Amino acid sequence: MRPNPPHARPGPFGARALAFSPSAGFFRQALPSGTRALLVLLLAGQFHAAPLPVEPGPFNLRLQSRAPQTERLQWEDVRVDPHKTAVVVIDMWDRHWCKTYTERVAGLVPRMNATLDAARKLGLQVVWAPSDVVDFYRDEPQRKAMVAVPNHPEPALVAFSPPQVPQGDYCECGPDQPCKSRKVWSRQHAGLVIAANDLIADCNQGRELLNLCQERGINTLIYLGVASNMCVCYRSMGMIAMRAHGLRTIFVRDLVESIMANGFDPARKVPDPNFTPAKGSALVQRFLEQHVAPSIESHQLLGDAGMLPAGNDHRRTIVFVIGDDEYSTERTLPDFARRRLEPEFRCVFLQADPAHRSELPGSEALYDADLVVLSVRRHFYTVPVMDRLERWLRAGKPLVALRVSAAPFAEGAGIKRAGEGLVVWRDFDQEVLGCHYNYYDPEARATGSDVWPVNEASDHPILRGIAGLAFHTKSWIYRVNPLEPGATVLLKGRWSNAKPEEPVAWTHSHNGGRVFYTSLGHPDDFEVKAFQELLANGVRWALQPTSSQP
């Protein structure tokens, strides 16, 4: 049974004491003198006691799913009753047989702790559901409380039989796959915070969770954890089993992840420099949203609980990801943002350390970004870092990309991935930007380029203030043709009349999200008013919602 809500609990003076006036005979006779004095202060307004906690109430979530036949995104706003909802955390083990996957799981821990704090504040019951390692917690009160839940008859099954989730379970250290499969987990990750009122269940004993749901009247389960294509789906407490017993299931799409492969296509079982761990998670997410359960993002729970990292700053957040070794965008982009974007937007700058090119300090900011501005050249980030960045990019969210970002994560120009657990995304230019980057003419470095707006796009909002205005730039022309269907060219340019003109700025759509790219971005470009207008307009255009976004 749920305890009485705080407002229904007796106070320190009993349920009836405050109903009497201080002048009443009962007041003088029934209460001790010290209690009478305190009560007088309370009733006189001279003693400020801490307010009783507020009983959590319903809150809103926007669920994202995909149409069964077309995979078209669709959204539903639902009202969540916290008394009928629980959060289930699946198999956040301390170690995995793949050392890179171990690091990837660990990368979820800080955000997961924050999100679970928000869930508790919203009044949701948190249930930890590890498999194989539950004996580690056998003496913990949270485990004993779960075991003590009374047994109930098993709920009737409903008709639910989805297709098989995309499978993988390959090493994520890289295409050579050095890790060998073996059982190494002994507990949940030590960094996870288990609160006093949480419960610890055995993920292999689904009846424990069903008993809790029947005892508490819980009808909705929100899932976090790993792996989304294995345990989160197929364990006895997983989404498929619980939905088959009539419960509504939801997953937090940025706090679940699959284990698939890195540089290796698990379906065809061949090397593939364009298959990344986050691509595997994106494939599984699409499948789950289409066949198993709708999803939410962690910032929805944090926002409902008033716990977003930005606090009371309600400006939209632009995250600048900078890994540029040639054009000094670690200097020019922050200066541009201060002049042209603040105070309208909250700007966060993530700068790769030149001595540690595979790291990106502060990448947790990507969880709450509204827009990413990318200026990265051939950086191969660790799987946990790339998981945050690539998931954001693959989710169809708005992107503005500059110059070197034609090849942000691809090998080339003598630069290769070196080391285990790093990510290559070879076809980013084609998939996201909608172009085919093919370097440049070396002679163009000495001449710069002439650039002009395309007449057919003169009414485009990104060209506001510069339509019809040709200018010269020290940026040399990139060869990017052909563009993908659907790309809209805004600027063209050439460095020599003997060479063909090339697109210099265009828009594209990636998974329904707006993308603006320009091959401009030389340090001197930031002093050209036309370029400043172009980039500021591109940011504002990309942030506008589309018909395929909530």
* Confidence class for position 318, pLDDT limits 50, 70, 90: very high
Place of tokens 């919203």: 122
Please give the structure tokens belonging to residue 486: 């659907």
In a domain, 236, yes or no: yes
Query: How many Cβ atoms are within 10 Å of 132's Cβ, its own excluded?
Result: 16
Omega before 163 within 30 of 0, i.e. cis: no
Q: Does 29 reside within a domain? A: no
The closest alpha carbon to 296, from 58, 545, 75, belongs to 75
Q: Please say which residue of 304, 330, 347 terminates a domain.
A: 304
Task: Please report whether residue 333 resides in a domain.
Answer: yes
Give the alpha-carbon dihedral of 412, 418, 420, 425, to 10 degrees. Answer: -10
| H or E element in which residue 295 lies | strand 295-296
pLDDT band at 177 (very low <50, low <70, confident <90, very high): confident
Report how many domains make up the chain: 2
Are residues 358 and 387 located together in one domain of the fold? Answer: yes
Q: Which residues, listed in sequence order, are joined to residue 87 by a DSSP beta bridge?
A: 126, 222
Residue that terminates a domain, selected from 283, 304, 325: 304
Confidence at residue 356, expressed as pLDDT on a 0 to 100 scale: 87
Distance CA 322, CA 312 (A): 27
Digit-coded pLDDT (tens) for 34-80: 444 444 333 444 444 444 456 889 999 999 999 988 889 999 999 99
Q: With contact defined as beta carbons under 8 Å apart, do 376 and 352 qualify? A: yes
**147 lies in the same domain as 244:** yes
**How close are the terminal C-alpha atoms of the chain, in Å?**
38
Tell whether 54 is covered by a domain.
Answer: no
List, in sequence order, the alpha helices (H) in 341-400: 383-394
Pair (461, 492) in one structural domain: yes
Residue 34 in any domain: the answer is no
| Residue 53 resides in a domain | no
Q: CB 92: neighbour CB atoms within 10 A?
A: 24
Of the residues 243, 269, 304, which one is the last residue of a structural domain?
304
User: Strand 295-296 and strand 346-351: pairing?
Assistant: unpaired
Which residue type, as a one-letter code, is found at position 383?
Answer: V
- Read off the pLDDT of residues 76-122 as tens digits, 9 standing for 90 and up: 999 999 999 999 999 999 999 999 999 999 999 999 999 999 999 99
The range of the structural domain enclosing residue 69 comes to 59-304
Q: What is d(CA 285, CA 228) in angstroms, rounded to the nearest whole number?
A: 8
Closest CA to 200 of 33, 88, 82, 328: 88
CA-to-CA separations, 385 to 16, 105, 294, 462, in angstroms, rounded: 58, 11, 25, 31
Instruction: Check if the beta carbon of residue 125 is closer than 8 Å to that of residue 199.
Output: yes
Cβ neighbours for 303, distance < 8 A, ≥ 6 positions apart: none
Give the tens place of pLDDT for each residue, 487-533: 999 999 999 999 999 999 999 999 999 999 999 999 999 999 999 99
Cis status of the peptide bond prior to 395, with omega within 30 of 0: no
Nearest to 117 by CA among 47, 182, 195: 195
Both 275 and 329 in a single domain? no
With a cut of 60, say whether residue 162 has pLDDT above it: yes
Which amino acid type is present at position 449? S
Calculate what percentage of the chain has a pLDDT beyond 70: 89
- Scanning 97-230, the segments in alpha helix (DSSP H) are 99-121, 141-147, 206-216
Q: Is the pLDDT of residue 441 over 80?
A: yes
Assigned domain for 41 exists:
no
Statement to judge: residues 68 and 144 lie in one domain: yes
Average pLDDT, the chain: 90
> Are 485 and 339 found together in one domain?
yes
Residue 396 backbone class (left: φ over 0; alpha: ψ -120 to 50; beta: rest) = left
**Both 373 and 516 in a single domain?**
yes
The answer to whether residue 5 sits within a structural domain is no
pLDDT for 34: 46
Query: Using CB atoms within 10 A of its CB, is residue 482 exposed (0-12), middle (13-18) or buried (19+)?
Result: exposed
CATH number for the domain harbouring residue 228: 3.40.50.850
Report residue 468's pLDDT band, with 50, 70 and 90 as the boundaries: confident
Which strand (E) or helix (H) includes residue 200? Answer: strand 199-200
pLDDT at 20 over 90: no
Instruction: Report pTM.
Output: 0.88
pLDDT tens profile 208-267:
999 999 999 999 999 999 999 999 999 999 999 999 999 999 999 999 999 999 999 999
Q: Look at residue 525 and give its three-state secondary structure.
A: helix
CATH number for the domain including 518?
Answer: 3.40.50.880
Phi, psi of 255 (to 5 degrees): -125, 20
